[in-house]
Amino acid sequence: MSKILLVEDDEVMPKIVEKILHKEDYQIEHVTNGKEAFQRLEDTNYDYDLIITDIMMPYANGFEILSKVKNRKEGKPIPVIIVSNAGNEAMILEGFKLGADDFLKKPVIPGELLIRVKRLLIQYDK
C-alpha cells in the first residue's frame, strides 16, 4: 500500500482527494500547513511514496516543502505533485524548476489525479 502525504489547508479539497485515492487503497495522511508537513516528514523520516501539496498555505508554502524534499541528500526520492488554483505560468514554471514532478490546477479532475498519482508511483518504484 502506497503512503501519500497530502498538504492542503482548504477544507473541501482533502475530502475530494481522499475519496478519489482511497478507491485504490492508498494510505493518505493529511496535514493543513507547511509547518505540520515538515514535522510529519521529520517524524516519519520521509517515509512517503508521494507528496501532494498546495502552494499557498500558512507557515511554509508548497514551494518550500518541494525544495526541502527534493534537496535532501539521503533516502529514496519522493515524487511531488503540486495542486493549486494559483496556476499562473510563473508559478507553474517555478514549481518545475524546484523539482515538481507534476502540477494540477484546482478543481482537480478525479480521473486525471488518479492517473497522475499511479504514473508517478510506478515511475519512482523502479
The per-residue pLDDT for 126 is 64
Nearest to 13 by CA among 102, 110, 91, 111: 110
Residues 6+ apart with CB under 8 A from 51: 4, 5, 6, 7, 37, 65, 69, 78, 79, 80, 81
Q: Where are the domains of the chain?
A: 3-124
Give dist(CA 89, CA 3) in Å, integer. Answer: 30
Kindly report, residue by residue over 76-118, the tens digit of the pLDDT: 999 999 998 876 888 899 999 999 999 999 889 999 999 999 9
Residue 86: the pLDDT is 73
pTM: 0.95
pLDDT, tens digit (0-9, with 9 covering 90-100), for 56-65: 988 999 999 9
CATH number, span 3-124: 3.40.50.2300
pLDDT value at position 34?
A: 94
**Could you tell me where the DSSP H helices lie in the chain?**
13-22, 34-43, 62-71, 89-97, 110-124
